[in-house]
Amino acid sequence: MTKTSASFILVVAITLLGCVKEEEQQSTSQQTPPNRGGSSSTSNLFFCDTRDLNRDSSSQLGTLFSDYNKMAVNKAASSPANVFTIPVRFHVIQGDSSTENGPVPDDALVEQIDVLNRAYAGETGGTQTPYRFQLASINRVSNAKWRSLSPGSPEEADVKKALRVGDATTLNVFISDIVAPEGQKGTILGYSTFPFVYQLQPEIDGIVLNYRAVPGSDLANFNSGHVLVHETGHWLGLLHTFTGACDGAFTDLVSDTPREKPPTPGNYCPVGRDSCPETLGTDPIHNHMTYTGDSCRTEFTQGQVTFMRFNTLLFRGMR
């Protein structure tokens, strides 16, 4: 990558990050929660707290993605022969040794790696991706102050500053209880940073995962490990499939995921749902980047693979 293109990428990253921050400030000043991609009042559950990009930041990213698709590097980077093994470092944060306070057994984390690999290898359905995952470490920390994290909180910042290790290609997963931010109600299962954020704030990079969303937990419909598959999709650059809902000018930037509105809370696999009937295709309820139950989400598309490669090549340096 040339010095000029690297500088351009950094400018885009600054612009994108600025758009996200501006959206957060506006939401706070209006005393309304930022766009989380939908929430559930009936089931009292936020599936994912990763913030969707606003229209301006989506447009900036879309322009860069369009330029990438015209480059020869796209074909080489998306070759099935390229496999990228990502080291995963789990940080299990617990108040004490009781299950109630969040500890997750080692075998659940080993299984979680297997779930990631099967999903990203296309074994559960859809298109095979070039990403594979390897367990690098399990770090257990007893700290009552950190056991419950809230998105954007000082405690989250402290945890990441103290525990995060590795570079842009290292996936750090912080496992704890997650508390909804002030003014919101519900259970958050996880949230992630996007690749472009690493360009300016590497210290906050990673995923925060609810300890009840790991394989074998007692949380019905979300205890197979597919929540981390979803959050890892964000970490690799994917947006929610319902980004922009039925608005054709504001989407997840992937051409082969039909538009949809956020799935109805409590309906974990709404087969045949067509929430945007004026557009082509029924809702992508089986896509890993929507809000349906774990057993319903089974696939990535080829377009999503290309978008992940774009994000990880430019912003995470995976070549």
Active site residues: 231
Distance from C-alpha of 264 to C-alpha of 290, rounded to nearest angstrom: 11
Distance from C-alpha of 318 to C-alpha of 304, rounded to nearest angstrom: 16
Distance from C-alpha of 145 to C-alpha of 156, rounded to nearest angstrom: 10
Three-class SS state of 16: helix
Q: Which residues of 201-238 are buried (b: 16+ CB within 10 A; e: fewer)?
A: eeeebbbbbbbbbbbebebebbbbbbbbbbbbbbbbbb
Distances (CA, A) of 267 to 41, 104, 264, 271: 13, 28, 6, 10
H/E stretch holding 223 reads none
